[in-house]
Chain A
Amino acid sequence: MGTFDYLMHGFETALTWYNILFAFVGVLIGTAVGVLPGIGPMSGVALLIPVTASITGGLPPEQAATSAIILLAGVYYGAMYGGSTTSILLNTPGESSSVVTTLDGYQMAKKGRAGSALSISAIGSFVGGIVTLIAMIALAQPLSTIAIKFGPAEYFSLMLLGLAAVSGLAGKSVTKALIMTVCGLLIGTIGIDNVSGIARFTFDIPWLYQGVEFLTIAVGLFALGEVLKTILEKEEDDGEIAKIKNLIPSKEEFKESAGPIARGSLLGFFVGILPGAGATLASFFSYLMEKRISKKPWKFGTGAIAGVAGPETANNAASGGAMIPLLTLGIPGSGTTAILMGALMMYNVQPGPLLFEDHPQVAWGLIASMFIGNLMLLILNLPLVKVFAKIIETPKKYLIPIIIAISIFGVYAVQVSTYDLLLLLGCGVLGYFLSKNDYPIAPLVLGLVLGPMIENNMRRALTISDGDYSLFFTRPLSLTFLIITALWLLIPVLLKKRGKDVVINIEG
């Protein structure tokens, strides 16, 4: 079967009534997550994993995994659309990748052009999403064929590279990011070792035998941590919501944004594939690029439509691009994809080169549903943007306790254990303190997800070589990955020493 047949089967899966519903609910919640300041895509996805797990409980395992991941991915790219709404209308970005959109978007809104800014960003997001999907379809098969030839040594080195890439760019201090990564890896070692079968660091507590649950940690650190932060640091509501007048951009505005959208799609896609460089970086780069090549650079910051179209396209393209290494190599390139990977693994679906062979329904169903979801978002966002803008007015007093209640319900529904709830609360408090003091959380979750796989591959490789560590350096591909890993970690440090500003990825 060729790629086309697989894709058609994917559409068959994605077009069943309940998967359409899942995609719809996903993008709808995603848009809300993007619009609501305070919950980002990471906490939104983490919060919904247990909820989807309980909804899909009645389906056969393969279908449950497909439907769940369709919904969760919908939340992920839906948030990228929604994030622009608050940036433009309120000057407050809903999530970090929409920060640059505030620069020109809010200025446009002030001048009464909020409608065109919103519709151009929706159109740009759509184009960006579709371009990366096509690229993903083209790349999926060849990449998996290469990756399938990897031995354990190559995998070990590649995963180290993935870890280093995400932690090397996340947060303000590389040391802190690395500490968080190592902590995640260490938490991953708790439980029964599945090679030798002995209990590690469990202190004879039966609850710890199956290891610390990824779900509990992710929901606690992200969702609960952010909620606690909002309670403690109560912000005064500021600014007025700009009025939306005319939704259809003028011909001139279309002309001005066509170029930025095309460039943003490509740029976002390539930045997205790079592990560690997330949507935030992509939108930032796109803005800089548009400003540099513009004939009227002085217009930027005063309401140039190119400054909205480019970054908004790029951040959506990047979030699609980040799915490629996740699905084909099994290496999440960002915090949100790490959480998606954890969700897949909860369903016993291992992302990676074998995914397309072992679970074609999951992989192609997801890809096809992303086409449908992007279309839904475009349709939803153009006429309904006024409705979504209303979500901003949701009073925090109701929102915050309900988020806590949902996270407790979700974790309990899946784990059925009070210990997990206590751990959840602990992680929430910890998450608040860590992120307040610039300890990035995404690397920790990534370490937790990748840890067991890294260890298994390392031990398999060492068993083959009979304990000879030089194996990792003598195999050329493995050595290449290790060299890139070292450079990735060292170059930012060296640049900083020279006093250069290092671009930092907030999303992680």
Chain B
Amino acid sequence: MDVKFDRFASVAFLAVGVLFMIGSRKLASSSYGSSVGPDIFPFVLGLVLAVLSIRLFYEAFRGKVQESGKEKLQYKPFFIILLSTLIYILTLETIGYVITTFLFLFVCFQTMERNKWVTSLIISAGFSGIIYYLFVNVLKGTLPGWPIWFS
């Protein structure tokens, strides 16, 4: 547990709560008729969230900073995989499912452990190909297939 994270989170949650309260005040002017409009529920929730985050701030402030031995985090593979996931998502619709999935899996397999690249190749090709075939041809679902210039 990280007290610093809690302090930061409490401020962030407070902001979210207040923003929801402000946002629901704006809704009030646009609704009419019923005495219980669409604004009440989010307003009350925003208020509750604000109160709770103040309480969290207080708890985090009082909390003793625990010096637990810093565990070694694997930042390098984490960021490579995170970045490849992002690229995968952004290129999925333009380049198509099969190619992006194949590349994504291959990169990730190699990031996790850099050897046996033949096995990695086979598994990533197999996974993307089989999923695409099953979903599009057998189940008649929609997936972006191949890039436009390819077919």
- Chain A contact residues, CB within 8 Å of chain B: 54-55, 57-58, 172-173, 175-176, 178-179, 182-183, 185-186, 189, 193, 195-196, 198, 200-201, 228, 231-234, 395-398, 400-402, 404-405, 408-409, 412-413, 416, 418, 421-422, 424-425, 429, 433, 437-439, 454-455, 458-459, 462-463, 466-467
Contacts and interface: CB of A to CB of B under 8 A. Distances in A.
B90 interface: yes
Contacts of A421: 89, 92
B58 to A, nearest CB: 9
A418 to B, nearest CB: 6
A57 B139 CA distance: 8
Nearest to A190: B42
Kindly list the 7 A-B residue pairs having the minimum CB-CB distance in the complex, ordered from nearest: A401-B108, A397-B112, A467-B35, A193-B38, A462-B36, A421-B89, A397-B113
B71 A398 contact: no
B5 A231 contact: no
B31 A413 contact: no
Given A201-B42, A234-B74, A397-B109, A175 B55 contact: yes
B121 interface: no
A232 B75 contact: yes
Nearest to A458: B41
A186 B85 contact: no
Nearest to A186: B45
Contacts of B53: 179
Contact of B127 (A172, A405, A437, A458): A405
B92 A412 contact: yes
Interface string B44-87: 01101100110110010000000000010111011001100110
A103 B105 CA distance: 38
Chain B interface, DSSP helix/strand/loop, else mixed: helix
A459 B36 contact: yes
Nearest to B123: A398
Contacts of B131: 405, 409
Nearest to A182: B49
A401 B49 contact: no
Contact of A54 (B78, B128, B141): B141
B49 to A, nearest CB: 5
Contacts of A178: 52
Nearest to A397: B112
Contacts of B33: 196
20 contacts: A175-B56, A182-B17, A183-B13, A195-B38, A200-B27, A231-B81, A232-B75, A395-B113, A397-B113, A398-B109, A400-B81, A401-B108, A404-B81, A405-B127, A408-B92, A412-B92, A425-B89, A429-B82, A463-B35, A463-B36
A168 B1 CA distance: 19
Contacts of A462: 35-36
B37 A196 contact: yes
Contacts of A422: 89
A463 B104 contact: no
Nearest to A399: B112
A163 to B, nearest CB: 12
Contacts of B71: 233
Nearest to A404: B85
A440 to B, nearest CB: 13
A443 to B, nearest CB: 12
Contacts of B112: 231, 396-397, 400-401
B137 interface: no
A183 B16 contact: yes
Contacts of B23: 200-201
Contacts of B86: 425
Interface string B103-141: 011001100110000000001000110010001000111
Given A183-B13, A198-B27, A401-B108, A466 B35 contact: yes
A437 B59 CA distance: 14
B34 interface: yes
Given A175-B55, A179-B13, A425 B41 contact: no
A303 B10 CA distance: 45
A416 B142 contact: yes
A196 B46 CA distance: 20
A455 B55 CA distance: 25
Contacts of B37: 196
A402 B101 CA distance: 10
Contacts of A186: 16, 20, 42, 45-46, 49
